[in-house]
A and B are shown apart, each in its own frame.
Chain A
Amino acid sequence: MSDEHAGPGGAENDVDEGRRRFLGAAAVSALVLAPGVSLIRYAEGDERSTAGASSKTRWGLLIDTTKCKPSCTACVTACSSYNGWKNEGRPTDPQWIRKVQVTDPSTGFSRSVPVMCQHCANAPCVEVCPTGASFRRADGIVLVDRHICIGCRYCMMACPYKARSFVSENLTNQKPWAPRGKGTVEGCTLCVPRIDAGKIPACVEACRREGGRAMTFGNLKDPASAISRALAEYPSAQLRADLMLDTGVHYQGL
C-alpha cells in the first residue's frame, strides 16, 4: 500500500537496493538450504546399531507377586549394585527398580510389586522422544542412547510407570557396562550387557538366589521358554493394560 512509509517523507526510498537484494537472497538461501540439509541427514537413516539383538526374540519378565515378600529388596539392591545407581532417599535420586506396596482399599489385601521399565512394544517414551534417543531394540529392550539424549525429560512425562530417572548431578565411578551421565535420562536396561553375554538380568538372578524366586526371565516369542509356558498356564496381567502398550513385563497375583 502506498500509504505506508518507513519514516517521515518516505526515507526508505534511500535504502540501497543492492543490500536489499543481498539480504533477500541470503534469507531465501537459508530457508531453502537448512531443511534440505536436515532432510538429507534424516534420509541417511538411523545408524545406531542394535547388533546382537534379533527380532526373533522378545525379552520379557514375569513377576509372581505371590512369591514377592514386602521385606525383600534383593532385586533392587542387585540392580543398584550392577548398574551403579544409588538411592539415598532424595527426590532427585534415580530408581531403576522399586518395590511398590499395593493395597486394595476395599479388602485390605496387600502385596509387594517390583516396578521397573516395562519395555513396552508401543513405548510412549520412544514415541515422544524428539531425537530418537529413546529407542527399542529389535529384541524389545527399551533403552536410552546417551549420545543423543538432550535431557528434555519428555519421556519422563510420558512414561505411565515412572520408570525413568534424570541424572541431576555429576557422577563418579560409573560402571563401564552401564553408561550414565549428568543431564541425561536413564532407566532399567534389563541388564542388556548381561543378556548380550548370555546371562540373565541381575534382579532375576538376585531374586532366585536371595528372594522368593518370583521373577522369570525369557523369550516371549519362544513358546517353549519357561516364561511363555508360565504365561500360557496361569493368569497374568500387564500394568495399565488399558493403555494397550503391550508391555514386556507381566505380573501374576495382582
Chain B
Amino acid sequence: MRAIHYREIDGRSVGFWGLAALLAAFMAAGVTAAYFMAHIGHIITGMTNQVVWGMPHVFAVFLIVAASGALNTASIASVFGRVAYRPLARLSGLLAIALLIGGLAIVVLDLGRADHLGVALTHFNFRSIFAWNIFLYTGFVAVTGWYLWVMMERRLNRYTRMVGTVAFLWRLILTTGTGSIFGFLIARQPYDEAIMAPLFVMMSFSFGLAIFILVLMAAFKGARRPLGDDTLMRLKNLLGVFAAGVLYFLLAFHITKLYEAAFRGAEAFLLWDGGIYTFLFWFGAVFLGGMLPMLLFWLPQTRRSRAAAGWGSASVVVGGLALMYDIIIGGQAWPLSIFPGMKVSSSFYDGVVNSYSPSLPECALALGGCALALFIILFALKLLPFLPESLADEGVVESDMGSAKPKAAAGAA
C-alpha cells in the first residue's frame, strides 16, 4: 500500500475566504437570534407551551446524531481494520467533533436561561438521561480529540485501535442516549418506545456518513486533490445500506405502534392524515432519506456516477432533517392523552392538534449552528493535516478484509 501523506489545505483562495465569510455571516445571524431570544424571550420564536421544542432542536439533534455517525469511517478503519478507510479517519474524527459542537451550540443558546449553563455543568440529576447526555456529549468531544491525537501523533499510532474502540463504543452509547431522550417520554404517544434508541443509532450511521461524503467531495474539489472513484463508491454503497437500515427501523417502530390500539390515533395522524407531518414522513424520510438514495446508488444507470453519489448523500441529509422534524415537531403536535378514549377541549389546547410555525430567529439559530460546524471543519483543514494529499484509486487498497494483512490493518488507522 502506498504511504498516506496528509497536508493542510492552502486556504488562500477567494472561494475559501468567501465560504468562510458566508459561514461567519450565518454564525453572526445565529448569535444575534440567540441574543434576542435571551433578551426578549422565546415569544419571538414559534415555540409555545404546546410545541416546546422547535426548529433549533430539529437541527441540534440532527447534528448531534450525525456527529456520532460521522465517526463511522474512522471506526471502520480502526476498530474493524478496513485499510481502505484509513486515509479518511482523521477527517471522520474532525467532522464528529465539529458537528457535535455545532449541535450543542444550538441547544445551549436555545435554553431559556443560557446564562445558567454553569448550573447545568455543576448540578446533576443522575436519573435524567439529559444529565447523562451532558457527560456523553462532552466526553465524546474529549474521546474523539484523544482519538485524533493518537492518529495524528506518529509515536502514539499503536494506540489507535484501543482509543478507536473506546470512541466507537462511546458514540453508540451517545446515540442510544439521544434516542432515549424521546424513547423515555412515556407521556407522549408518538414516542415511548425503546426502539427509538437503536433507530437513532441507525439514523446516526446514515446522516453522519452522508455529511461525511458531501464534505469529502467538497473538500477534495475545493483543494483540487484527486478523489478516486473507488473510495467514493465504497462510501456511497455503505450509505445505501445505512439508509435501508433506517427504513427498516422506521418500519419496525411504526408497526409496533400500530399494533397497540392506544397508539393508533397518533400513528394515523403521523402516517395518514397529519398534513405536513405525513408529507415529511413519506416524501421526506422514506423517499428522500431512503428510497431515492438507494435508487441513485444502486441502479445500473447511476451506480458508477459520482454526481449520483453526491445527490444521493444530499438526499439522505434532507430526508434526515425531514425525519427529525417529523419526530420532534410531529410528536408534539399530537395532543396528550390525559383522558384516554374521551373527547376533550380546554383553553389550553387540550385535544387539538397543535400548530407550529418556525420563526426567523429560531431558523437563524439553527442554521448558525450548522455554519459553526462547517466553519470549524473549514479552518481545521487549513490549520492541521486532516486531509490526505490524494485519494486517487491507485492509492487505495481494493480488498482489505482478506486474510492477507489483518494484523497490519489492525490498530493502524
Write the residues of chain A forming the contact surface with B, with a CB cutoff of 8 angstroms: 1-8, 12, 20, 24, 27, 31, 38, 41-42, 87, 89, 91-95, 98-105, 113, 115, 124, 126-133, 147-154, 156-162, 164-170, 182-185, 239-240, 243, 254
- When distances are taken between beta carbons in the complex, the residues of chain B under 8 Å from A87 are 347
Write the residues of chain B forming the contact surface with A, with a CB cutoff of 8 angstroms: 1-8, 38, 40-43, 47-50, 52-53, 107, 111-114, 116-117, 119-125, 127-131, 133-134, 142, 145-146, 149, 151-154, 157, 181, 184-188, 332, 336-350, 354-355, 385, 389, 412
**In the complex, given contacts A12-B154, A157-B52, what are 18 additional A-B residue pairs having Cβ atoms less than 8 angstroms apart?**
A3-B2, A5-B5, A27-B146, A100-B346, A101-B346, A124-B186, A131-B116, A131-B119, A150-B114, A150-B117, A152-B111, A157-B53, A157-B332, A159-B187, A166-B52, A168-B48, A184-B113, A185-B112
- When distances are taken between beta carbons in the complex, the residues of chain B under 8 Å from A4 are 3-4, 6, 151, 154, 157
Residue of A nearest to B4 (CB): A4
12 A-B residue pairs with CB within 8 Å: A41-B122, A100-B348, A102-B343, A104-B343, A124-B186, A127-B128, A129-B125, A148-B116, A153-B53, A156-B49, A160-B338, A169-B43
Min CB distance A131 to B, Å, is 4
In the assembled complex, the Cα of A1 lies from the Cα of B385 at a distance in Å of 16
Min CB distance A170 to B, Å, is 6
Given A100-B350, A161-B338, A162-B348, A184 contacting B128 (CB threshold 8 A):
no
- When distances are taken between beta carbons in the complex, the residues of chain B under 8 Å from A7 are 5-8, 385
A150 touching B113, Cβ below 8 Å: yes
B41 touching A183, Cβ below 8 Å: yes
Most chain B CB atoms below 10 A, which of A4, A95, A243: A4
- When distances are taken between beta carbons in the complex, the residues of chain A under 8 Å from B116 are 131, 148-151
Given A91-B50, A105-B342, A148 contacting B119 (CB threshold 8 A):
yes
Residue of B nearest to A125 (CB): B187
A interface SS class: loop
- When distances are taken between beta carbons in the complex, the residues of chain A under 8 Å from B127 are 126-128
- When distances are taken between beta carbons in the complex, the residues of chain B under 8 Å from A98 are 346-348, 350
A151 touching B112, Cβ below 8 Å: yes
B113 touching A151, Cβ below 8 Å: yes
A153 touching B339, Cβ below 8 Å: no
- When distances are taken between beta carbons in the complex, the residues of chain A under 8 Å from B107 are 152
Residue of B nearest to A242 (CB): B340
Could you say which of A20, A94, A162 contacts B338, with CB atoms under 8 Å apart? A162
Residue of A nearest to B389 (CB): A8
B113 touching A129, Cβ below 8 Å: no
Could you say which of A126, A127, A152, A161 contacts B336, with CB atoms under 8 Å apart? A161
B347 touching A89, Cβ below 8 Å: yes
Given A99-B346, A151-B111, A128 contacting B128 (CB threshold 8 A):
yes
Min CB distance B97 to A, Å, is 14
Min CB distance B83 to A, Å, is 10
B125 touching A8, Cβ below 8 Å: no
